[in-house]
Amino acid sequence: MEDTEIQLSNGKHTPPKDFVCPITTLIFNDPVTLETGQTYERKAIQEWIDRGNYTCPITHQKLHNLQLPKTNYVLKRLIASWKELTPCNDQFEYQETNYVNVPQSVSEYSPNNVINELRLVITDLCTSQVLKKAELAVLKIERFWQEAKMEAEIQSLLSKPPVVNGFVEILFNSVETRVLKATVFLLCEVGSRDSDVISTLTRVYSDVECIISLFKNGLFEAVVLIYLLRPSISTFLQMDMVNKLLTVVQKRDDEFLKMFMNPKAASVILLAQIIENDDDNGASLEVIKSIISGKAIICIIQCLELESAEERIAAMKILLRCIQEDGKCRNVIADKAELAPVLECFLEVNDQEQFEIVQFLSELVKLNRRTFNNQILHIIKDEGTYSTMHTLLTHLQTAHTDQSPIIAGLLLQLDLLVEPRKMSIYREEAIDNLISCLNNSDSPSAQLAAADTLLALQGRFSYSGKPLVRKFLLKRAGIDKNYRSSMRSGDDQETMEEEKAAQEWEKKMAYVLVNHEAGLIFEALAEGLKSRHAEICLGCFVSATWLLNMLTHLPETGVQEIARACLLKRFVSIFKSAKDTEDKTISMLALSSFIHDSDGLRDITIYKKDISKGLREFKKSSTVAFEMLKVFSEGSESSIELWNHRELAQEDCSINGIVLSIVCHKNKIFSGHSDGTIKVWTGKNTGKGKDNVLRLTQEIREHTKAVTSLTVLQSGDTLYSGSHDKTIRVWSINKEDVYCEEVYDMKEHVNNLLVANSIACFIPQGNGIKVNSWSGESKLLNPSKVVKCLTLVNGRLYCGCLDNSIQDIDLASGTLTSVQSGSRKLLAKGNRVNVLQVHDGLIYAASSSMEGSAFKIWNASTYDLVYSMSLTSEVRTMAVSSEFIYFGCKPGIVEVWCRNKLVKKETLQIGTNCKVMCMALDENEDILVIGTSDGKVQVWGVS
């Protein structure tokens, strides 16, 4: 109590320093002493901690225990004793609402008085041990700054290190929001004008931490000061500032103090720096996802209209990264963004930022709506205070090599907004640049950028901005059925308008590209196809196909010859060697462009034997393949020109008797023999020798008598076998082996077994056709006929009979329709129907006759006779492909007939003393497997 006694003896009533809280500057009411040894008013220090400050206000030491201790009763009793001895101490009592009012005006001060008064106030700020007095000094300084109109003079006083340190002490110790905001405001204002102030602030790392902590705890104006301090990106990430920055971006401007920089603008710049400078890319990715998933992206779009170029460019960089991360957001950006402010700052920024603007604009015009794309291009071209095209041209001429294709692509698109002119410096420079980059094998990055730019120039994009040229080409070739699903759906009228606009754009773009320097683009694309980099090759491959295909839709350009010289041989090679179905299809479409003029047809005919086999693979699915084969076939008289049948393998199975049945499934061949054996062979046509084509992998002996029928449902891996042992067996086909799953006792011989889902149809030993369900039900159809052959297609059973009649039985209704009436002759046996097939809506039937065989074709829908002819050999079996009809004949031969022209192409010699008993084609129709009466299994390749 020594201090108290001295003060009383001097007649003063000021309380001892130890009785006063350093935060409130008032006598303690509920003192608590922290682990650092400093004592504070409980409510004041609790508020300090609640604001996110975890250090002691006086010592700045970190508080390890944030739970406040019990009241310091010793000190509280001393204070109580002092109060009893000291009159009139009410003004020192703790009051939560007590705060000194700040003068509302400084108009009564003269300039000299302002400086003098300000010096006194600054002294209070820097030297006062009473927090309240220092806080009041801050508010007075702010008032002088706002009203005295003497910024230069005040600036010189406030920029001194002691004053800056005084402001920092306030930031560490004050809990008053108004004071903290005023302090941050003053530091921002003087710091923006004097870099020495920022140097003073950054000299002590804890000062920066304090400012960031205040920002994170809701003092959003502090973000401007953080922007001035420019802490490292790692500091931002370590202190988890991103969410708070996004919060500021989404606030209204009127929620902040009016400062030299808007806190929202500072936040956008800092976010851009985090995104741009994040080395591991993880944090920036999280920022981008947060922006896209929330409402922040709309606020960022609005920031494109901020005051300074730095602020607009920062917003643009963020939006560019958003598009690159999730292309779907470009639609919102294109719809909401004002592009004029971005265009206007083009000349104010450095080269790299100019290129980023070009990237941003180029990405914006990758929309799935062509009409909207054209609108955006017009805005880019026409808005702004200077010529966008001239500026881009100048930028293109000085840009880095791997950046120039993107600039050239945008410039070319802007040039094509009007009808292509005979001469345009913009177009010439742009296309020259693209060709130069494609030819630049020393710079793969430039080649790739040029290849990607060409893909985008076609002008069709998915909703996420991916070029659709590849899908579009597959659709044009008749393969890709999902092209339309990649486009944004709309009503029919809108779809028609969009497609019309897309076609017009595609034609204009292709026209100027192929006509530039008499087709020089094809030489460049051929050069790109030689690249060792797969991405460059792929881009040039698709672009070359697009431009070749467009030659067939454009007016005569005179560049077909150079296109053929550069690309024909290369595309033949790709078509022959491509493993990927899509690549093969696209190369086929490119080759089809060469058959539309006489010179092109002459040149491609040299390779027609090399490509015909591949064309047949697509004939069913692609009209392009069908048309090419049709063109190649016109005028051909020799089967050797287009087709070749050669024996690949032969196995002697005579020890097992006659080969009665045969079937192909995937890369396996199954043969059924008269001794009841089923053999399983690998049957892949690898072209690497006979051992690879036909290799026995399994021999099954579960049937006790002849296996007359084998059939596989193409929808599954199940084999069905019918036998004279009166059973049907069901086999499961695995990669390794085949094993029996079920055995059904039919109680009759099983011939010509056919299976469809839940039923099995076969010819018994007597009359009619047996139809059995797997549940055991059985019925006899057509009992008045002796049936010789069957085929089952789409629930309709076609049967050929001993009396030369042919019936069509609807299994669902039981309705029987006569396709061909039977013979009433006593020697009707001589005219029996031996074999029957249904293919592509036609019924093919061969009957025995006195001269050999009668072959007829009917329409399966109307039963009208389409064609009839006589064959000199008796036909015992038949196989029908998309190209050929194969007749297996009695004297050991197979006649090969063209299915469309119905003329014989060639004869395959199978044996000398045998009959062809059964035949089968694989799914691709490039392997014909034959079984004979002398026990041979033969494999023939069709190429």
Question: In the predicted model, is pLDDT for residue 824 greater than 50?
Answer: yes
Question: In the predicted model, is pLDDT for residue 936 greater than 80?
Answer: yes
pLDDT per residue as tens digits for the range 657-701: 999 999 998 889 999 999 999 999 986 654 444 545 789 999 999
384: left (phi over 0), alpha (psi -120 to 50) or beta: left
For helices 370-382 and 492-515, the axis angle rounded to 10 degrees is 60
Kindly give, in sequence order, each residue whose CB lies less than 8 Å from that of residue 492, ignoring residues fewer than 6 positions away. Answer: none
Please say whether the beta carbons of 793 and 808 come within 8 A: no
Rg (CA), the chain: 45
Question: CA 816 to CA 810: how far, in whole Å?
Answer: 7
Task: Return the pLDDT at 103.
Answer: 45
Question: CA 88 to CA 70: how far, in whole Å?
Answer: 29
Task: Return the pLDDT at 480.
Answer: 57
Q: Which of 226, 174, 173 is nearest to 201 (CA)?
A: 226
Question: In the predicted model, is pLDDT for residue 441 greater than 70?
Answer: yes
Mapping DSSP to helix (H, G, I), strand (E, B) and coil, where does residue 478 land?
coil
Question: Residue 438 — very low, low, confident or very high, per pLDDT cuts 50/70/90?
Answer: very high
Taking CA 609 as the corner, what is the angle to CA 604 and CA 614, rounded to the nearest 5 degrees?
A: 95
Q: Which strands sit side by side in the sheet containing 787-793, from one edge to the other?
A: 787-793, 796-801, 806-810, 816-820
pLDDT above 70 covers a percentage of the chain that reads 90
Question: In the predicted model, is pLDDT for residue 109 greater than 80?
Answer: no
Q: Which residue, chain included where needed, has tokens 């090969």?
A: 896
Question: Residue 316 — very low, low, confident or very high, per pLDDT cuts 50/70/90?
Answer: very high
Average pLDDT over residues 341-356: 91
Question: In the predicted model, is pLDDT for residue 110 greater than 90?
Answer: no
Q: Which of 61, 20, 14 is nearest to 41 (CA)?
A: 20
Average pLDDT over residues 759-763: 93
Question: Residue 8 — very low, low, confident or very high, per pLDDT cuts 50/70/90?
Answer: very low
Q: Which of 665, 612, 671, 723 is nearest to 923 (CA)?
A: 665
Question: CA 122 to CA 162: how far, in whole Å?
Answer: 10
Average pLDDT over residues 127-140: 85
Please say whether the beta carbons of 365 and 373 come within 8 A: yes
For residue 272, the tally of other CB atoms under 10 A from its CB is 24
- Calculate the alpha carbon distances from 668 to 615, 739, 910, 918 in Å: 24, 14, 21, 16
Q: String of b and e for 208-245 (b: at least 16 CB within 10 Å)?
A: bebbbbbbbeebbbbbbbbbbbebebebbbebebbebb
Could you tell me how far CA 450 lies from the centroid of its own chain? 20
Q: Which strands sit side by side in the sheet containing 718-723, from one edge to the other?
A: 707-712, 718-723, 727-733, 738-745
Please say whether the beta carbons of 69 and 34 come within 8 A: yes
Q: Which amino acid is at 567?
A: L
Q: Which amino acid is at 670?
A: F
Average pLDDT over residues 266-277: 88
Q: Which residue, chain included where needed, has tokens 């606009």?
A: 501
- Calculate the alpha carbon distances from 700 to 656, 678, 692 in Å: 12, 5, 21
Question: In the predicted model, is pLDDT for residue 390 greater than 90?
Answer: yes
Q: Which of 514, 596, 597 is nearest to 563 (CA)?
A: 514
Please say whether the beta carbons of 224 and 259 come within 8 A: yes
Please say whether the beta carbons of 922 and 882 come within 8 A: no
Question: CA 152 to CA 155: how far, in whole Å?
Answer: 5
Mapping DSSP to helix (H, G, I), strand (E, B) and coil, where does residue 607 land?
coil
60: left (phi over 0), alpha (psi -120 to 50) or beta: left
Task: Return the pLDDT at 939.
Answer: 93
List strand residue ranges (DSSP E) for 787-912, in order.
787-793, 796-801, 806-810, 816-820, 833-839, 842-848, 853-859, 865-871, 875-880, 884-889, 893-898, 904-909
Question: In the predicted model, is pLDDT for residue 829 greater than 70?
Answer: no
Question: In the predicted model, is pLDDT for residue 467 greater than 50?
Answer: yes
Question: CA 886 to CA 925: how far, in whole Å?
Answer: 12
Q: Which residues does residue 809 pair with via DSSP β-bridges, in sequence order?
A: 797, 816
Question: CA 60 to CA 204: how far, in whole Å?
Answer: 12
Task: Return the pLDDT at 494.
Answer: 79
Q: Which amino acid is at 647?
A: E
Cα within 13 Å of Cα(580), Cβ side: 7
Question: In the predicted model, is pLDDT for residue 10 greater than 80?
Answer: no
Cα within 13 Å of Cα(55), Cβ side: 17
Task: Look at the pTM and tell me if it is higher than 0.75.
Answer: no
Mapping DSSP to helix (H, G, I), strand (E, B) and coil, where does residue 895 land?
strand
Question: CA 801 to CA 289: how far, in whole Å?
Answer: 72
Instruction: Return the H-helix or E-strand segment holding 727.
Output: strand 727-733
- Select the highest-mean-pLDDT range: 194-203, 270-279, 626-635, 742-751: 742-751
Task: Return the pLDDT at 217.
Answer: 87
Mapping DSSP to helix (H, G, I), strand (E, B) and coil, where does residue 908 land?
strand
Question: In the predicted model, is pLDDT for residue 822 greater than 70?
Answer: yes
- Calculate the alpha carbon distances from 378 to 301, 330, 349, 368, 406 in Å: 20, 17, 23, 17, 18
Question: CA 185 to CA 621: how far, in whole Å?
Answer: 72
Task: Return the pLDDT at 642.
Answer: 60
Q: Which of 641, 644, 570, 557 is nearest to 597 (CA)?
A: 557
Average pLDDT over residues 276-304: 80
Average pLDDT over residues 815-827: 78
Task: Return the pLDDT at 840.
Answer: 87
Q: Which residue, chain included where needed, has tokens 């099995």?
A: 760
Average pLDDT over residues 838-842: 91
Question: CA 410 to CA 365: how far, in whole Å?
Answer: 9
Q: Which residues does residue 39 pair with via DSSP β-bridges, in sequence order?
A: 33
Question: In the predicted model, is pLDDT for residue 448 greater than 50?
Answer: yes
String of DSSP letters for 45-111: HHHHHHTT--B-TTT-PBPS--S-----HHHHHHHHHHHHH-SS-GGGS--TT--PPPPS--TTS-H
String of DSSP letters for 859-876: ETTT--EEEEEEESS-EE
Q: Which amino acid is at 488?
A: R
Task: Return the pLDDT at 97.
Answer: 37
Question: In the predicted model, is pLDDT for residue 799 greater than 90?
Answer: yes
Q: Which residue, chain included where needed, has tokens 């084998």?
A: 710
Question: Residue 542 — very low, low, confident or very high, per pLDDT cuts 50/70/90?
Answer: very high
199: left (phi over 0), alpha (psi -120 to 50) or beta: alpha
pLDDT per residue as tens digits for the range 162-206: 888 889 988 888 888 899 999 999 999 999 898 888 888 888 777
Question: In the predicted model, is pLDDT for residue 134 greater than 80?
Answer: yes
Please say whether the beta carbons of 364 and 332 come within 8 A: no
Please say whether the beta carbons of 294 and 246 come within 8 A: yes
pLDDT per residue as tens digits for the range 148-164: 777 788 888 888 888 88
Mapping DSSP to helix (H, G, I), strand (E, B) and coil, where does residue 798 land?
strand
Question: CA 909 to CA 902: how far, in whole Å?
Answer: 20
Question: In the predicted model, is pLDDT for residue 5 greater than 70?
Answer: no
Average pLDDT over residues 708-721: 87
Q: Which amino acid is at 619?
A: K
Mapping DSSP to helix (H, G, I), strand (E, B) and coil, where does residue 806 land?
strand
Ordered alpha helix ranges (H), 337-468: 340-344, 351-364, 370-382, 388-398, 404-415, 425-439, 444-457
Please say whether the beta carbons of 45 and 32 come within 8 A: yes
Question: Residue 413 — very low, low, confident or very high, per pLDDT cuts 50/70/90?
Answer: very high
Please say whether the beta carbons of 354 and 346 come within 8 A: yes
pLDDT per residue as tens digits for the range 59-107: 778 888 888 888 888 888 888 888 878 765 554 454 443 333 444 455 5
- Select the highest-mean-pLDDT range: 355-364, 599-608, 627-636: 355-364
Q: Which residue, chain included where needed, has tokens 């935060």?
A: 23
Task: Locate 741 and state its tokens.
Answer: 């799953």
Question: CA 43 to CA 101: how far, in whole Å?
Answer: 22
Mapping DSSP to helix (H, G, I), strand (E, B) and coil, where does residue 898 land?
strand
Question: Residue 482 — very low, low, confident or very high, per pLDDT cuts 50/70/90?
Answer: low
Question: In the predicted model, is pLDDT for residue 112 greater than 80?
Answer: no
Give me the chain's average pLDDT, please. 85
